[in-house]
Amino acid sequence: MINLESPKKFKPLISQARQVAEEVLRPNSRKYDLAEHAYPKELDMLAALIDGLNDSGTGGAGATGVRRDESKSEGNRNGTNLSTVLSIIETCWGDVGLTLTMPRQGLGNSAIASVADDEQLKRFEGKWAAMAITEPDVGSDASAVKTTAIYDEKTDEYVLNGTKIFVTSGERADLVVVWASLDPSKGRAAIKSFVVERSNPGMQLIRLEHKLGIRASDTAQFVLEDCRVPAANLLGTPEIDAKKSFAGAMQTFDNTRPLVAAMAVGVAKAALELTREKLAEVGIEVDYDRPAAVQSSAAATLLELESDYEASLLLTMQAAWMADNRQPNSLQASLAKAKAGRTGTDVALRCVELCGSVGYSEADLLEKWARDAKILDIFEGTQQIQLLIIARQLLKKSSADLK
Amino acid sequence: MAHGCAPSATVSRNKTGGIPLGAVPVATRSTLFEDTMKLADRGMSLGLRALNRFAGLEVIDRIGMRKFSERAVQGATKNGFRAAGVIGRTFAATQKQGAPVRQASGSGSGQFDLTPSDEQQMMQEAAREFAAAELRPAAEQADTDAAPPEGLIAQSAELGTTLLGVPEELGGAVEERSAVTSVLMAEAFAHGDLSLAFAALAPAAVSTAIGLWGDADQQATYLPAFVGEDVPGAALAVQEPRPLFDPFALQTTARREGGEFVLNGVKSLVPGVATAELFVVAAAIDAVPANGVPGTPGRPALFIVESKSTGVQTAPEPGMGLRAAQTGQLLLDEVRVPASALLADGDPEVYAEAIRLGRIAWAALATGTAQAALDYVIPYVNERQAFGEPISHRQGVAFAVSNLAIDVNSLRLTTYRAASRVDLGKDFAREAALARRLTADKGMEIGSQAVQMLGGHGYVKDHPVERWYRDLRAAGLIEGALLV
């Protein structure tokens, strides 16, 4: 039966995430926006709480939840992909930056959860893993990474050399999943990901960024200089298989894009709710029945923004639901990411406008959300990259045809 | 200003009778997610607030307690949360027994699911085949002729469109009424052609209205015709011809006189108006007219009006699109109907529901036609060559296709959610309004972009996109005329 409501069985989980957002994330929002690079120690306690949640079997609340369950079962499934996006919406309603820097919920954890073998899963369990893809000269085109990984037979290690930038939680994480090429002359097929211990002396943190938003989350730059990594830390197969390997690495994104979409949905929800409250104080309320054209311009704007929010939410739930049901969702993941990414920024910025100086001032959080939201239309594939992915799939074009 | 920015203050009282005028339920909800947090779940909040205060303390670091505390917290929440989950389930079960449940709400599994039921898939498949085989090929000529081909509407009725809203006991086709089923049918039809779909589904709006809200007499009087071989032309007439039309502030009036109502007013863009035998007309009861100044608008309600009644006239009103549906004006001049013509005793909640269901229906039509536009544009931009390669190799074109896909899927999911809430017996004012908003904004944009992608070829009648451009503009502005 067609039903697009949040599943009943996830209501307690969503409610718990909402409480975490209300009681821990929101109260610390401004503090760590102002104190960029200060470690939000309140989160250690929270992370312990989330571990407790995961252990209790109530459901995953973070990135570890995106591993695709291979078990066969008949009928409709509402699983960890859906529960994860729903709880992320709530925590990002609280604060995106703090959600991003939640210990042990890094993007690297998603990569490990998605592609690691059982031995690796076990070895890296309980560790906080960041993800290092971007380089000074390599952004959206992940297949062009210049960092190299040369195999050393004598020690059964890979030796990594290169520079990585924009590594979320790079300073705070225990592990960094580094994308590097086994042979740059062989293109994308040679790109592999390696789990590097943060303590590895060959990997030096050289810079922390100062950013427009998500300041609670640290963004690091690393130099890898003859950084030696055990061969057992390579995720996936060491073979350079033109057909499979890069697609395998990129497959992570089918699982993580809905998560970023969910973050944008959460920010949009926060901005809409607060703006609705502020407007109600001055006598503006949306009437869902009367045509927008006969309501005030502010009410009509809220209706428009809320419709984009609704679409973003449902596209995100669809992508996650398809992952839960083991349907290929690459197209839907990008539809969700593109729509939610643009909507998060648009909603937050226009809510600032609706609320005037109240929206723009640091006295409240709207201006912060407008700054936080922008990154969600950029990382995990920019708006433009999502449009490319969607177009290539619909038009059946290769990256050579449609550049 | 009369319909200005404080709609919640519009409930007023009639001086004579004390009946609330314009007492249309105001659909506002303060949170975007309903019941995110049940009272029982809130118990944890206090603990978290304390936890947060505790975690921020410098002293924990100083005395080296942090690691220990975290372990303690983890253990406590592990057990605490499990217990809360158990309590939640018990509470839910108790509430289910105690709370009033509407007819359809028992059939849901409480799971998020985008898969139609077997029955729905069957009907959807039949509607798709009919749309591809009959509607699409007939569309261009029907647009030119401003009339559907002979027999096509009767043929579509054989698919059971007018039976969906009729209870099984009265000859209807399906056991449970489902707005989702109607949405899937409408979407499939409109993939063939929006204006033929409109013509085909218009009589169903009347049978659905009487099936849902008619009393025993009204049902016994009118429904047999809709389950028979020869379905009568019929239309739900809400729209009125003026800018900023608001279906909750009607100018068509129903004056009480003796045991009768006397209807006066003009209805606009009524499908198949000239040949309809039966109308359901929206008119305001107890409106108080005033000379020169706005009068009291009265309470909108639905009336069954037979076209043979004295004072009923029709006039052609062809539009930019929807031409196969033969739209026209319905003119009501001192039309006398018995008191028994009033549907649902004039219940304002029923009227509001009718308006919302109409908007969902139009959103469904827009979804079908928008998908048709996307499906048409994709092969075109792949085949069309410019500068030595397909134009789809250019991001300016390719990204427009991506945006079409984003908008079509947004429209579809939002429409499905609104309809599924109808079936679940949940309030759907908000969801219908949001589907409406996207229909108006994105439906129009999709029509426009589809023409744009074909350039000059899109502007001429060799391709259907100019027709879809015209039809899609209607979907976001017409009130009533269809129901799901």
Output the pLDDT for position A248. 62
Task: Work out the average pLDDT over B178-200.
Answer: 96
A15 in B contact zone (CB under 8 Å):
yes
Instruction: Give the model's pLDDT for residue A105.
Output: 86
Residue B113 belongs to a domain: no
Mean pLDDT of chain A: 91
Count of Cβ atoms closer than 10 Å to residue B382 Cβ: 19
Residues of A in contact with B55 (CB under 8 A): 24, 41-42, 44-46
Regarding whether B245 and B353 lie in a shared domain, the answer is no
d(CA B365, CA B183): 8
| Residue B96 pLDDT > 80 | no
Q: Which residues pair with B253 in a beta bridge?
A: B264, B284
Question: Mutate which of A3, A281, A296 to disrupt the B interface (most B C-beta within 10 Å)?
Answer: A3
* Residue B53: pLDDT over 80: no
What is the percent of chain B with per-residue pLDDT over 70, rounded to a whole number? 76
Say yes or no for a CB contact (<8 Å) between A285 and B92.
no
Q: Across residues B288-298, what is the average pLDDT? A: 71
Residues A335 and A349 sit within 8 Å (Cβ to Cβ): no
- Does the structure show a pLDDT above 90 at A214? yes
Domain contains B373? yes
Q: pLDDT tier at B70 (50, 70, 90 boundaries)? A: low
Q: Does A273 touch chain B (CB under 8 A)?
A: yes
Q: Cα separation of B59 and B53, whole Å? A: 12
Task: Quote the longest CA-to-CA distance of chain B.
Answer: 92
Q: Let me know whether B167 and B190 are in one domain.
A: yes
Are residues B365 and B328 located together in one domain of the fold?
A: no
Within a domain: B68: no
CATH number, domain containing residue B220 = 1.10.540.10
Q: Which of B427, B299, B409 is nearest to B356 (CA)?
A: B427
Residue B314 and residue B275 in one domain: yes
SS3 B376: helix
Strand, helix or coil for residue A156: coil
On the 0-12 / 13-18 / 19+ scale of CB atoms within 10 A, A217 is buried
Mutate to test the interface with A, among B112, B121, B444 (most CBs of A within 10 A): B112
Q: Do B434 and A306 touch (CB under 8 A)?
A: yes
The pLDDT of residue B85 is 31
- Asked if B420 lies within 8 A of A287 by C-beta distance, the reply is no
For the question of residue A285 being annotated catalytic, the response is no
Looking at the fold, whether B444 and B397 belong to one and the same domain comes out as yes
**Count of structural domains within chain B:** 3
> For chain B, how many residues are written?
484
Q: Quote the DSSP letter at residue B242.
A: S
Q: What is the pLDDT of residue B157?
A: 83
DSSP A127: -
Q: How far is B58 from B74, CA to CA, in rounded Å?
A: 20
Spell out the residues 6+ positions from residue A77 whose beta carbon is closer than 8 angstroms to its own. A324, A325
Of B31, B70, B401, the CB nearest to A45: B70
pLDDT recorded at residue B156: 86
Are B282 and B332 contained in the same domain?
yes
Instruction: Indicate which CATH number applies to the domain containing B432.
Output: 1.20.140.10
Which chain A residues are Cβ-neighbours of B422 within 8 angstroms? none
Under the banding of pLDDT at 50, 70 and 90, the label for residue B7 is very low
The pLDDT of residue B230 is 83
B196, B231, B266 — which closes off a domain? B231
**How many other C-beta atoms can be found within 10 angstroms of the C-beta atom of residue A135?**
19
**Residue A386: per-residue pLDDT:** 97
Q: B362 with B387, same domain?
A: yes
Q: Which residues are CB-contacts of B75 (< 8 A; sequence separation ≥ 6)?
A: A52
Fold assignment, A1-403: Butyryl-CoA Dehydrogenase, subunit A; domain 3 (1.20.140)
- Banded model confidence at residue B61, pLDDT cuts 50, 70, 90: low
Pairing mode, if any, of strands B20-21 and B12-13? antiparallel
Q: How far is B151 from chain A (nearest CA, A)?
A: 33
The reported pLDDT for the residue numbered B288 is: 78
B337: domain CATH number? Answer: 2.40.110.10
Give Cα separations from A138 to A167, A253, A292, A379, B102 (angstroms).
13, 17, 45, 13, 57
Q: How many CA within 13 A on the CB side of residue B14?
A: 15
Alpha helices in A207-329 (DSSP H): 245-281, 297-324
- Band (pLDDT 50/70/90 cuts) for residue A304 is very high
User: In terms of domains, do B334 and B286 share one?
Assistant: yes
DSSP string for B310-327: TTEEEEE---SS-GGG--
Report, as an integer, the average pLDDT of B57-76: 52
Rounded Cα distance between B95 and A343, Å, is 36
In chain A, which residues have their Cβ closer than 8 Å to the Cβ of B11?
none
**What is the length of chain A?**
403
Window 49-78 of A, Cβ < 8 Å to B: 49, 51-53, 55-58, 76, 78
Q: What is the 3-state secondary structure (H, E, C) of A323-372?
A: HHCCCCCHHHHHHHHHHHHHHHHHHHHHHHHHHHHHHHCCCCCHHHHHHH
Alpha carbon distance A171, A128 (integer Å): 11
The minimal CB distance from A56 to the residues B81, B180, B416 is found for B81
Question: Torsion angle of alpha carbons B298, B304, B310, B311, nearest 10°?
Answer: 40
A269 to chain B, any CB pair closer than 8 A? The answer is: yes
**HSE (side-chain half, CA atoms, 13 Å) at B357:** 27
Report the C-alpha gap between A219 and A47 in whole angstroms: 20
Q: Which of A5, A324, A317, A2 is nearest to B117 (CA)?
A: A2
What domain range is B377 assigned to? 349-475
- Among A90, A135, A367, A380, which one carries the catalytic annotation? A380
pLDDT band at B295 (very low <50, low <70, confident <90, very high): low
Residue B342, pLDDT above cutoff 70 = yes
What pLDDT, on the 0 to 100 scale, is given for residue A242?
65
Give the minimum alpha-carbon distance from A290 to chain B in angstroms, rounded to a whole number.
Answer: 6
- One domain, residues B139 and B203: yes
Q: What is the pLDDT of residue B97?
A: 29
Q: What mean pLDDT is predicted for residues B10-20?
A: 38
Question: How many angstroms separate the Cα of B3 from the Cα of each of A280, A298, B118?
Answer: 17, 14, 45
Residue B49, pLDDT score:
54
Q: How far is A246 from chain B (nearest CA, A)?
A: 23
pLDDT for residue B47 is more than 60: no
Domain boundary among B206, B231, B256: B231
Residue A228 β-bridge partners: A159
Determine, yes or no, domain membership for B21.
Answer: no
- B-facing residues of A in 202-231 (CB < 8 A) are none
> What is the per-residue pLDDT for A144?
87
pTM, 2 dp: 0.87
Residue B57 lies in a domain: no
Q: Do the domain assignments include residue B72?
A: no
Q: Residues A114-137: what's their mean pLDDT?
A: 93
| Distance in angstroms between the alpha carbons of the first and the last residue of chain B | 32
What band does B155 get if pLDDT is binned at 50, 70 and 90? confident
> Is there a contact between A193 and A249 (Cβ–Cβ < 8 Å)?
yes
- The pLDDT tens digits for B252-267 are 999 999 999 999 999 9
Residues from chain A that touch B405, judged by Cβ atoms under 8 A, are 335, 390, 394
Query: How much is the average pLDDT of B98-126?
Result: 71
Domain end among B295, B318, B347: B347
As a whole number, mean pLDDT of residues A179-199 equals 92
pLDDT score, position B165 = 78
Q: Does A283 touch chain B (CB under 8 A)?
A: yes
Place of tokens 């109502």: B261
Q: Are residues B366 and B385 in the same domain?
A: yes
**Average pLDDT of the segment spanning B106-116:** 83
In this prediction, residues A59-66 reach a mean pLDDT of 44
Q: What is Dmax (Cα atoms) for chain A?
A: 77
Average pLDDT along chain B? 83
